[in-house]
Chain A
Amino acid sequence: MNPLRLVRARPGAPFTVTFDGREIEALPGQTLAAVLWSAGVTAWRSTRGDGRPRGVFCGIGVCFDCLVTVDGRPNQRACLVPAAPGADVRTQEGTGHDA
């Protein structure tokens, strides 16, 4: 069983986004967090203090642990932002503003 089969999903045409330059597949409507999870990616940020990896924690936009840089804009919550075709998603370091 998988979630798509469970609800008998017929998703629209898949597309790709890039994560640190690597192409990964996305389904329409999925948030970046969902897309990254589907690709087996669980961390896309390193903290500004200890440089530790982080990904989704609360999943509903409250905890800000899943911050990520999308198309050059830092500090986007991956659990809220829907994936757009061709989006350039990058692991975010520190504040996200460091050059």
Chain B
Amino acid sequence: MVVVGAGMVGAACALYAARAGLDVVLVDRGPVAGGTTGAGEGNLLVSDKEPGPELRLALLSLRLWAELAEPLGAAVEYEPKGGLVVASTPEALTALTDLAAGQRAAGVAAVAVGPDQLRDHEPYLAPGLAGAVRYPQDAQVMPTLAAAHLVRVSGARLETGRTVTGVLRGADGAVRGVRTDRGDLLAPAVVNAAGTWGGEVAAMAGAALPVLPRRGFVLVTEPLPPRVRHKVYAADYVADVASDSAALQTSPVVEGTAAGPVLIGASRERVGFHRSFSLPVVRELAAGATRLFPFLTDVRVMRTYLGFRPYLPDHLPAIGPDPRVPGLFHACGHEGAGIGLATGTGRLLAQVLTGENPELDLTPFRPDRFAESEEAAQ
């Protein structure tokens, strides 16, 4: 089979498909991790997901990440550090506590942390916060290393710098492979793991998939000794993730890295593929981070970069066969959660490709689920 897109999701699809015995070619117009993967923070999170299909996928994915970490943990900088979601006001704490209760019922480990215990978990947190919930299952990887190493251990044939220009289909409409700028790659199955550009690949096969970019900036500080232990973010982050608004949203997400710098996210804007710098966005991120961690005020930002999260209108990814085009499979549209959800996505897709029953119900992720509303609109 051909996997289009050598980001984190494509790498995981290649890995699990190859393990299931399939012959895999991974093709990307750029390098490994050249798109959203290379611009991400490497979140493996359950904490930011409301109970439902995405949370089920996250729980599966995190189990798989832990398995992969056995041999690969150091190489991909896997850190099962846990997340700490903090609430600044009593109202926010109430909402957070309710969310955590629902998550617990769905199988998430979530531990309430009182205001007086906060600094036991995060010694540098600002004073006066109302409380927090700790999520021990949350973890982190270095996304580019993770993608590259998954590709490496998959044994898949990697074709970087090769642009897919069309999807080949037979007289019966079934997929026969892909056309690229350097010749055709023939295969009975094509997996669209093109992330933010997944809509373009779907269109090449004649299928509509409304993947859109949601821009985010990340700030990277000077190297520091370990001071931020968890992935720490404010409770309103969950609301931002789930929001449909096109306007700018920023809620601070702060975490240390194995290499020393602290990463600060996460802004969300729908501005198309606009690559220009936005100082107001960066200012908001900085303000949010210094409110959570006042010591950061004197710490310098060395770099800021931006990326585009691939999102679908209902904020769920498209995973599975496309009933409109036999042989076409999708694994894209994971928005800001693609690193974390990659392993589960790859596993489920491999199960579908080999005719097994997928271990999660794929109905919520059906790639053609937007077709009805589009037809209705026309």
Contact = CB atoms under 8 A, between A and B. Distances in A.
Contacts of A97: 224-225
Given A48-B260, A95-B260, A75 B222 contact: yes
Interface size class of A (residues with CB under 8 A): under 10
Interface string A34-57: 000000000000001000000000
A69 to B, nearest CB: 13
Interface residues of B, number: 6
Nearest to A67: B222
A97 B224 CA distance: 6
A95 B300 contact: no
A98 B260 CA distance: 11
Nearest to B223: A95
14 contacts: A48-B223, A48-B260, A75-B222, A75-B300, A94-B225, A95-B222, A95-B223, A95-B224, A95-B225, A95-B260, A97-B224, A97-B225, A98-B225, A99-B225
Contacts of B260: 48, 95
Contacts of B223: 48, 95
Nearest to B227: A97
A48 B300 CA distance: 17
Contacts of B225: 94-95, 97-99
Contacts of B300: 75
Interface string B243-260: 000000000000000001
Interface in B263-305: 300
Interface string B210-254: 000000000000111100000000000000000000000000000
Interface string A58-83: 00000000000000000100000000
